[in-house]
Amino acid sequence: MSILQDLQNGKTVKDLSMDELEGLCYEIRREILSVVNTNGGHLSSNLGAVELTVAIHYVYDLPFDSLLFDVGHQCYAHKLLSGRAKDFDTLRTYGGISGFPRQEESEYDAYGAGHAGTAISAALGLIRAAKIRGEQKHVIAMVGDGSFMDGPSMEAVNDIGEEPIVVVLNDNNMAISPNVGGLSQYLNRVRSAQGYWNFKSRTANFLKKIPGIGNGLHDFFYKLKNSVKVLFVKGSLFEAIGFTYLGPIDGHDLPMLIRTLKRAKNLNRPVLVHAVTQKGHGYHPAEEEPGKYHGVTPYIVEHESREQDVNYKDVMVDAMDALMHRNPNTAIITAAMLDGTGVEKLTKQYPNRVFDVGIAEAHAVTLACGLASGGVKPYFAVYSTFLQRGYDELLHDVALQNLPVTFLVTNAGLTGQDGATHHGVFDLSFATHLPNVTILAPSCAEELYDMIAWSETATNPVFIRYPKQGCHAMHTLVPLEKSPWQVVSISHRAKAVVLAVGSMVPVAMMAADTLALDGIDIEVVNCRQVKPLPDRMLEKYANLPIITLEENAVIGGFGAYVAVRCGELGLPVRLLPIGVPDHFVLHGTTGQLLHEQKLDVEGVALRIREFIGK
């Protein structure tokens, strides 16, 4: 690792020769592969962005100039080049460096991310701030082709005006899922426009040879000039919306990248550099199966606090398969998360009823509403954290029109090493106040299966939220129709009752067992129906101290809803709401994070003990 070491000892990327830069790329790849193999992380996207990142560090003056990463899952080379090489082996580990850019981590991280579509907006803000402050700086946003078509990106592009930002379109022809949509097809055409420059010079020579053409023809060609460029360069879409378009260029050709970036830097207006890259470049297994190597599971075994008999994702697929098989008027939507949600396994059997809309959650929610309005029962399988992008549509389209859309909200709760931008700890807070909706949270495999089956006949919006992790196969079920809640740990001498949601049900049961050893009896209820609340059950428990327990923000979640409903019912309650406290949770294994947040068995038992002791 000699060049990376040199950089740690004061040398900068700008001091390196072209040969050394190529060598640096090799070292960076080796380092990324080594650490990701151990710690897990985003492999394909990071291997694809190495030369781009090195070229940007070479051409621009970071951190005075600002480099932003859209989504941010391609920032590893950047971290290695900005003083974090020595800590890089702590990547994504508890207390270590984040897998995404974070302002708090380094002044080189001009802007944080984790979700798609924000880099161009933020870049515009940075360049406008510089203008207001009278600073002369450059701002570069690296955006993947999957993110570029995301709604907020497009809104930002529309607002660029003449601001001199450079958007580097890192075009690997594949977002996380294979890319979909009009822009994708457009980019395919651009990439395949081979030999334009050759043709152009041949044409010029050819035209020169035509003798005696009049002024009319000259004018005609003059008028066509831009048009010719449009036809062959095919950057017309980008030029139509205000960019100077440079490309397409090979995103692994370092000298070419440096030349093009220098040109872009000098243009002093909005420039789009279209770099065609290969996901997983330089590592053959990832080049051939980039999807498989998008997010890599670490070789080291995660300290896992949840017991796993089966996987919620597989249960969802089984349940949806059965449902879509028996009911031809069903459809399922994913927003570029075919693999992550499990929806991929349904595509083959139901090709006309599975819709991957790209990174476009807002559109996905409304598309579902259109399907429902047209008499088809739609499902949207989506990570909790990404559904945040469709919040307005949940209110304005789903809830207001009371449409029977079902949301399969996966990756709810603390999700582990991806950190703050990927935890799903706000969905109960943004969903419980939506009128008309039913919210369910399974605590085991059978419950998820049954809830999905049940949702088929629901005539209103339904949210089913479940964690990323596996689940118990588990306990005998009372059907949801019979009782919205199920007592899972009965005590006739109970000193308190724990109203637990989803992933916290087994935790509550184990905490109850722990407390029972000390002679403290508590009752545990599996509150699988989060909304609407069963008033009768609240009335039953109001005379006991109530602990609500959820893997969700404590503000605005299940506990808050219980408190409000008890208030409306005139029930004075003594309540301890347990959930994720009012702060963001960083990265680490799920077990580490649950422990840190006092949401493991030990923490929950302790808090209940303190509460009852009062």
Active-site annotation, residues: 279, 361, 389
CB 252, CB 283: distance < 8 Å: no
Question: Residue 66, SS3?
Answer: strand
Q: Which of 42, 108, 31 is nearest to 72 (CA)?
A: 42
Output the smallest distance, CB 130 to a second copy, in A: 6
Which tokens hold the place of 376?
Answer: 């088809």
200-259 positions binding a second copy, by CB under 8 A: 203, 206, 210, 213, 216-217, 220, 223-224, 226-228, 230-231, 236-237, 240-242
**Closer residue to a second copy, CB minimum distance, 352 or 459:** 352
- Please name every residue paired with 276 in a beta bridge, in sequence order, or none if there are none: 171, 250
* 133, containing H or E segment: helix 119-133
Q: Distance between CA 608 and CA 365 in Å, rounded?
A: 39
56-75 positions binding a second copy, by CB under 8 A: 66
Determine which residue in the list 1, 555, 606, 612 makes contact with a second copy, applying CB under 8 A.
555
Q: Does 173 interact with a second copy (rule: CB under 8 A)?
A: no
**Closer residue to a second copy, CB minimum distance, 56 or 272:** 272
Which tokens hold the place of 204?
Answer: 């010029």
Position 367, amino acid: L
* Count of other CB atoms within 10 angstroms of residue 103: 11
**Closer residue to a second copy, CB minimum distance, 127 or 524:** 127
Output the smallest distance, CB 430 to a second copy, in A: 6
**Closer residue to a second copy, CB minimum distance, 516 or 564:** 564
Output the smallest distance, CB 516 to a second copy, in A: 24
**Closer residue to a second copy, CB minimum distance, 51 or 163:** 163
Q: Does 180 interact with a second copy (rule: CB under 8 A)?
A: yes
Output the smallest distance, CB 554 to a second copy, in A: 6
Output the smallest distance, CB 6 to a second copy, in A: 31
Q: Does 322 interact with a second copy (rule: CB under 8 A)?
A: no
- Within the chain, what is the greatest distance between any pair of CA atoms? 107
Q: Does 582 interact with a second copy (rule: CB under 8 A)?
A: yes
Q: Does 18 interact with a second copy (rule: CB under 8 A)?
A: no
Determine which residue in the list 32, 175, 368, 599 makes contact with a second copy, applying CB under 8 A.
368
Rg (CA), the chain: 27
**Closer residue to a second copy, CB minimum distance, 10 or 216:** 216
Q: Does 374 interact with a second copy (rule: CB under 8 A)?
A: yes
20-59 positions binding a second copy, by CB under 8 A: none
94-153 positions binding a second copy, by CB under 8 A: 103, 110-115, 117-118, 121-133, 149-153
CB 155, CB 121: distance < 8 Å: yes
CB 415, CB 465: distance < 8 Å: no
Output the smallest distance, CB 272 to a second copy, in A: 12
Task: Give residue 611's region: left, alpha or beta (phi > 0; psi -120 to 50).
Answer: alpha
463-502 positions binding a second copy, by CB under 8 A: none
Output the smallest distance, CB 128 to a second copy, in A: 6
Q: Does 191 interact with a second copy (rule: CB under 8 A)?
A: no
Q: Distance between CA 165 and CA 137 in Å, rounded?
A: 10
Determine which residue in the list 37, 173, 347, 373 makes contact with a second copy, applying CB under 8 A.
373
329 alpha-carbon distance from chain centroid: 29
Q: Does 196 interact with a second copy (rule: CB under 8 A)?
A: no
The residue range among 78-86, 391-399, 491-499, 590-598 that interacts with a second copy, by the rule CB under 8 A, is 391-399
Determine which residue in the list 372, 488, 522, 593 makes contact with a second copy, applying CB under 8 A.
372
* 271, containing H or E segment: strand 271-276
292-311 positions binding a second copy, by CB under 8 A: none
Helix axes 50-59, 254-267, angle to 10 degrees: 50
Q: Does 283 interact with a second copy (rule: CB under 8 A)?
A: no
Position 126, amino acid: L
The dihedral sign for the CA sequence 366, 371, 372, 378: negative
Q: How many residues bind a second copy (CB under 8 A)?
A: 130
Q: Distance between CA 326 and CA 320 in Å, rounded?
A: 10
**Closer residue to a second copy, CB minimum distance, 140 or 180:** 180
Output the smallest distance, CB 234 to a second copy, in A: 9
Q: Does 420 interact with a second copy (rule: CB under 8 A)?
A: yes
- Please name every residue paired with 380 in a beta bridge, in sequence order, or none if there are none: 333, 407
Interacting residues of 537 by C-beta distance below 8 A, sequence separation 6+: 484, 485, 525
**Closer residue to a second copy, CB minimum distance, 33 or 376:** 376
Helix axes 312-326, 445-455, angle to 10 degrees: 30
Q: Which of 465, 404, 481 is nearest to 437 (CA)?
A: 404
Determine which residue in the list 22, 321, 391, 495 makes contact with a second copy, applying CB under 8 A.
391
CA dihedral 107, 112, 114, 116 (to 10 degrees): -120
Q: Does 516 interact with a second copy (rule: CB under 8 A)?
A: no
CB 537, CB 504: distance < 8 Å: no
Which tokens hold the place of 328?
Answer: 């031809």
Output the smallest distance, CB 178 to a second copy, in A: 14
**Closer residue to a second copy, CB minimum distance, 478 or 555:** 555
Q: Does 327 interact with a second copy (rule: CB under 8 A)?
A: no
Determine which residue in the list 58, 293, 407, 430 makes contact with a second copy, applying CB under 8 A.
430
Which tokens hold the place of 188?
Answer: 């395919």
